[in-house]
C-alpha cells in the first residue's frame, strides 16, 4: 500500500521528493492535498483522485507520528526500496519521474499549465526541465500537402 500511495500522490500532486515524504495527515482534507512547498514557501492545493485520497487516508490512519509516508520508511530506505521497485518493473528513474510524468500529462491536456501544477514561479521552467515534448499533441500547424503528390 505504501508504494501505491507514493506513486499515485507523486504523480497526481507533482510534489518534490522531500515535500512528498514529509506530508502530514492534516494536509489531506476532503480529497484535496493542502501543502506549502519547502523550496518556494508557496502554498499549493491539489485535487486528488478518490483512489489516491483513500490510500493516503489509510496510510495516515496507520501513522505513528502524524505523517503519511515518513513514519513507514526513512528517506534512505525509501530510496533503496524505490530502486528495487524500479528494477523489478524493469524501468529506470528516480521519484522525480513521477513529478515529470504528471507535469507532461497536465501540459498535454491543459497547455501552459504545467508550471502551475509544479508550483514553479517561472513559467518556462516546466517546459525546459520537466516536460517530455515527444508526448505532447502536435500543436504546430502544418501546411496542406503539395498538390500532385
The pLDDT-based confidence of 15 (bands split at 50, 70, 90) is: very high
Domain 1-73: which topology?
hpI Integrase; Chain A (1.10.443)
CA angle 83, 35, 29 (to 5 degrees): 105
User: Which cell goes with 61?
Assistant: 490512519
pTM: 0.84
Which has the minimum average pLDDT: 18-22, 30-34, 41-45, 134-138?
134-138
Question: Under a CB-based contact definition with an 8 Å cutoff, are residues 130 and 104 in contact?
Answer: yes
State the burial class of residue 64 (Cβ atoms within 10 Å of its Cβ: 0-12, 13-18, 19+).
exposed
State the burial class of residue 74 (Cβ atoms within 10 Å of its Cβ: 0-12, 13-18, 19+).
exposed
More confidently predicted of 6 and 130? 6
Q: Cβ contacts of residue 40 below 8 Å, gap of 6+?
A: 119, 121
Q: Tens digits of per-residue pLDDT, 77-125?
A: 988 998 998 899 898 888 888 888 899 988 888 888 888 888 887 877 7
Please tell me the distance from the alpha carbon of residue 24 to that of residue 75, in angstroms, as a whole number. Answer: 15
User: Which cell goes with 107?
Assistant: 501540459
The pLDDT-based confidence of 127 (bands split at 50, 70, 90) is: confident
Q: Where are the domains of the chain?
A: 1-73
Per-residue pLDDT at 149: 62
More confidently predicted of 76 and 130? 76
Q: Tens digits of per-residue pLDDT, 23-81?
A: 999 999 989 999 998 888 889 999 999 999 999 999 999 999 999 999 998 889 988 99
Per-residue pLDDT at 35: 93
Amino acid at each position: 500500500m505504501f508504494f501505491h500511495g507514493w506513486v499515485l500522490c507523486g504523480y497526481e500532486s507533482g510534489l518534490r521528493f522531500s515535500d512528498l515524504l514529509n506530508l502530514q495527515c492534516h494536509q489531506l482534507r476532503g480529497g484535496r492535498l493542502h501543502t506549502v512547498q519547502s523550496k518556494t514557501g508557496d502554498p499549493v492545493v491539489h485535487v486528488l483522485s478518490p483512489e489516491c485520497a483513500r490510500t493516503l487516508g489509510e496510510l495516515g490512519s496507520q501513522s505513528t507520528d502524524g505523517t503519511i509516508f515518513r513514519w513507514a520508511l526513512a528517506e534512505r530506505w525509501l530510496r533503496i526500496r524505490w530502486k528495487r521497485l524500479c528494477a523489478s518493473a524493469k524501468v529506470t528513474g528516480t521519484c522525480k519521474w513521477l513529478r515529470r510524468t504528471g507535469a507532461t500529462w497536465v501540459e498535454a491536456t491543459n497547455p501552459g499549465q504545467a508550471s502551475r501544477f509544479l508550483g514553479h514561479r517561472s513559467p518556462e521552467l516546466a517546459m525546459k526541465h520537466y516536460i517530455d515534448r515527444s508526448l505532447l499533441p502536435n500543436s504546430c500547424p502544418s501546411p496542406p500537402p503539395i498538390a500532385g503528390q
